[in-house]
Amino acid sequence: MCERGRTSTAMSNPFAHIVEALDPNNPDHKFYNLSKLGDPRYDRLPFSIRVLLESAVRNCDGFLVKRSDVESILNWKRTQTQSVEVPFRPARVILQDFTGVPAVVDFAAMRDAVKKLGGDPEKINPVCPADLVIDHSIQVDFNRKSDSLQKNQDLEFDRNRERFEFLKWGSKAFQNMRIIPPGSGIVHQVNLEYLARVVFDQDGYYYPDSLVGTDSHTTMIDGLGVLGWGVGGIEAEAVMLGQPISMVLPEVIGYRLQGTPNKFITSTDIVLTVTKHLRQVGVVGKFVEFFGPGVAQLSIADRATIANMCPEYGATAAFFPVDHISLQYLEQTGRDAEKLDYITRYLKAVAMFRDYSNSSQDPDFTQVLYSTLDLSTVVPCCSGPKRPQDRVAVSDMKTDFEACLAAKQGFKGFQVTPELHHVKVPFQYNDKEYSLSHGSVVIAAITSCTNTSNPSVMLGAGLLAKKAIEAGLSMKPYIKTSLSPGSGVVTYYLKESGVMDYLFQLGFEVVGYGCMTCIGNSGPLPEPVVEAITQGDLVAAGILSGNRNFEGRVHPNTRANYLASPPLVIAYAIAGTVRIDFDTEPIGESLNNEGKEVFLRDIWPTREEIQAVERQFVIPAMFKEVYEKIEKVNERWNALNAPSDKLYTWDPKSTYIKSPPFFDGLKVHIYIFSITNAYVLLNFGDSVTTDHISPAGNIARTSPAARYLTSRGLNPRDFNSYGSRRGNDAVMARGTFANIRLFNKFLNKQAPRTLHLPSDETLDVFDAAERYQQAGLPLMILAGKEYGSGSSRDWAAKGPFLLGIKAVLAESYERIHRSNLVGMGVIPLEYLAGDTADSLGLTGRERYTVVIPEPLTPRMIVDIKLDTGKTFQVRMRFDTDVELTYFHNGGILNYMIRKMSEN
């Protein structure tokens, strides 16, 4: 359990002797004083591990959490390298609507299944509170107009009414589920500014705020000293149902920051530098905890930006313990004085309050990185053209892009023949002639939680826009510009500071409050622009202040996409190309001064200028005013009618909400899974992302999903996006592996298709899988390194499950995606060290039998037999006993249904 009814009583908890009142004058408000354990090991633990320890101590009941679990965490210095499994009960769960809708669909379907098995369906109910923020639905359909925001929001409601009514039903039908309506902001920014407690005051106890979320960038909250990370949507559902997370105690890497940032760099430059460094040294699956005097030089927004990008360097969490700057942020964002008082007193009492200038507080770490980051050495930079970790200094952007043009097709290559590098394609737009070439910017978006949460970069963008307008600069009208703030507070301070008008003049007016371009909801490009790109086979560019730029994610017509700070988004949009050296080439010519050349350095605001505006205009009253009315401000949401029945009445005509087939035919008895003579559906290389597996962008008109929707009577304009239809398994199964940038070794080209091996026909992936299933043939996937990297998507596991995929064999997995596969009963297999598909001579045309012995143990080595007679061994990546329990039940949700039915 979490929060309500979850704290162990003094009678049952063996650590009751350390319970005391935080305030002697208020004995009803107590806490478990870990400092009273009298154990010298506690003061040497990393601060992030202290949060895990507190949860174990407070919830120790001898059953779900044992005294031995507490000892294992206290003994972290030894157990961290021994794959010791402990339970963790986070205080809450956070969801966004793309992952939240399928979670509520699953809960509704689970109630039906429990009823069929003779149990009480209302036992399927969130025990652990869940906050769901609707932020993934809105798209940039309209821009560069004063009414763009209203039009986009109206269209969002028209497209998503069924989904929104379903979510509103869920908020009534299920306990402990709060819905933050559309138009409020981005989940992680709303979490930071409003939902975060830092310290809970619940049922008479104080304890640290902690959470898991169904979005990989949940880690953003770690910047405020709240321990949290992304989990699979399926695992999050189990946590909501009261199950603790079973986790292997992580190693904790100490990352030391020092120095003072250069006055011309932004938090984005810092985070891209940190991302590249941590990616190189290797922190996959570990906690990173920041320390050193340089941390005190970073605002909470800066820290949150670094923590947000944690998935891009592979760590589970990127933790900044609470310090005095954290408290200043809580005060700035409108938290009241009483809360600040007990937060401070509690954290100091349990030795979880940090003074970054006091090295005697530095805990023991698994490893302290020898190459610490001196903030004064950071330079302005971007990241791309296809991956977040591929940092490029702004001074090198032109040469790097041109090198990518010539390079072999890959993460840093487009394989354009040299004679075509300087091709120009003319086109007409609004009765004027323009031209596009390789590197032309066609999308410029200030978007995503990563940057819009940070007043310094948002105000920096506004000040740059002001100086650009005053210098007589403008922007080409065909570039799709947009500004999607992370919360209403951002709009508030941009207006109050006077910079919003200048942003609007450049084309960056507010188009919506949501993730938008960062998740592929970039909307259509002007048709003449698309025709020019297609005619010239151009490598057109998108520039965005987002956190992901994988192929096919931002827009199908932007093959190069660069992550950048909001000011740099504006700079490259003004320049109109990424093929520019800002040090030596002008950003543009002044319309006010007879074509005088203007350089970026002439208009770039300094950190001092930005901080002065921030101190004046980002004030607590703004946050209080915005968030006091956040749950009731959306009138269209308030007017939605939703049924009040505890069991959902499924509408067979709905193309958005459909009862999933996951529990069809579910029996009380457990079954054992086996794989015999499986075909390989897809044969992949490295870095296959969840964008490749389960695309979240627009539904292509020629795709299997489009054919299904057409058969249901829909026109293409009504298709909406894959993400908006995550509540319909028929759409999502057809959308699995439908990304146009999918590279399948069977075909040796990018296409959402594969080879149906029995017939040797090339088919859409869904159509091939359907043929295999009709013939009763099991399927597998072969992959290289980092399979499932990118955004956390439950449908990246649910979709393959519905396609009949029984196992994936890869060199390595992204952490959350492996968990999602386990949750769906799909076996994650991993090559042994040194083995690859190539070294073993695997072509993918063989048939595979996975020999599963009994009893199974975590991370067990098993045999694979091929129809060629060859046998080799792999590791079965069920990492804990709990995961094996899920596997034997056919997945985590099946396990929960059986458990609830029995009880």
State pLDDT tens for residues 346-379.
999 999 999 999 999 999 999 998 657 888 999 9
pLDDT computed for residue 673 by the predictor: 66
Half-sphere exposure (CA, 13 Å, Cβ side) for 125? 12
In sequence order, the 6+-apart residues with CB closer than 8 A to the CB of 757 are 679, 680, 845
The pairing of beta strand 588-589 with beta strand 199-202:
unpaired
pLDDT computed for residue 552 by the predictor: 84
pLDDT computed for residue 10 by the predictor: 40
Q: List the beta bridge partners of residue 55.
A: none
pLDDT computed for residue 216 by the predictor: 86
pLDDT computed for residue 416 by the predictor: 96
- The distance in angstroms from the start CA to the end CA of the chain is 16
The pairing of beta strand 541-544 with beta strand 588-589:
unpaired
Report the predicted TM-score, pTM, of the whole model to 2 decimal places: 0.87
Half-sphere exposure (CA, 13 Å, Cβ side) for 267? 33
Integer Cα distance of 365 and 376 in angstroms: 25
Contact call for residues 864 and 848 (beta carbons, < 8 A): yes
pLDDT computed for residue 791 by the predictor: 74
Contact call for residues 705 and 726 (beta carbons, < 8 A): no
pLDDT computed for residue 903 by the predictor: 61
- Coil, helix or strand for 415? coil
- Coil, helix or strand for 872? strand
Integer Cα distance of 377 and 603 in angstroms: 22
Q: Which two tokens stand for residue 356?
A: 């970054």
Q: Which two tokens stand for residue 433?
A: 């002639």
Integer Cα distance of 32 and 27 in angstroms: 13
Q: Is the peptide bond before 385 cis (omega within 30 degrees of 0)?
A: yes
- Coil, helix or strand for 545? coil
Of 250, 236, 255, 407, nearest in space to 320 by CA: 255
Q: pLDDT for 732-758, tens place per residue?
A: 999 999 998 899 999 989 999 999 999
pLDDT computed for residue 671 by the predictor: 65
pLDDT computed for residue 672 by the predictor: 67
Integer Cα distance of 258 and 294 in angstroms: 4
Residue-wise burial string across 143-169, b where 16 or more C-beta atoms lie within 10 A, e elsewhere: bbeeebbeebbebbbebbebbbbbbbb
Contact call for residues 34 and 351 (beta carbons, < 8 A): yes
Ranges of residues in the chain with a pLDDT under 70 are: 1-11, 370-371, 671-673, 792, 903
Of 849, 788, 773, nearest in space to 820 by CA: 788
C-alpha distances in Å from residue 834, one per residue of 377, 703, 813, 873? 37, 38, 16, 12
Q: Which two tokens stand for residue 248?
A: 């292997």
Secondary structure string (H, E, C) spanning 586-597: CCEECCCCCCCE
Integer Cα distance of 376 and 361 in angstroms: 24
Integer Cα distance of 373 and 269 in angstroms: 13
Q: What type of residue sits at position 661?
A: P
Integer Cα distance of 681 and 661 in angstroms: 21
Ordered domains of the chain (ranges, CATH): 423-618 (3.30.499.10), 675-697+739-901 (3.20.19.10)
Return the axis-axis angle of helices 815-823 and 795-802, rounded to nearest 10°. 40
Q: What type of residue sits at position 267?
A: S
3-state helix, strand, coil in the chain (%, to 5): 40, 20, 45
Q: Which two tokens stand for residue 360?
A: 């005697």
pLDDT computed for residue 411 by the predictor: 92
pLDDT computed for residue 215 by the predictor: 87
Contact call for residues 290 and 255 (beta carbons, < 8 A): yes
Q: Which two tokens stand for residue 869?
A: 């007679």
Residue-wise burial string across 564-580, b where 16 or more C-beta atoms lie within 10 A, e elsewhere: bbbbbbbbbbbbbbbbb
How remote is the C-alpha of 587 from its chain's centroid? 34
pLDDT computed for residue 882 by the predictor: 84
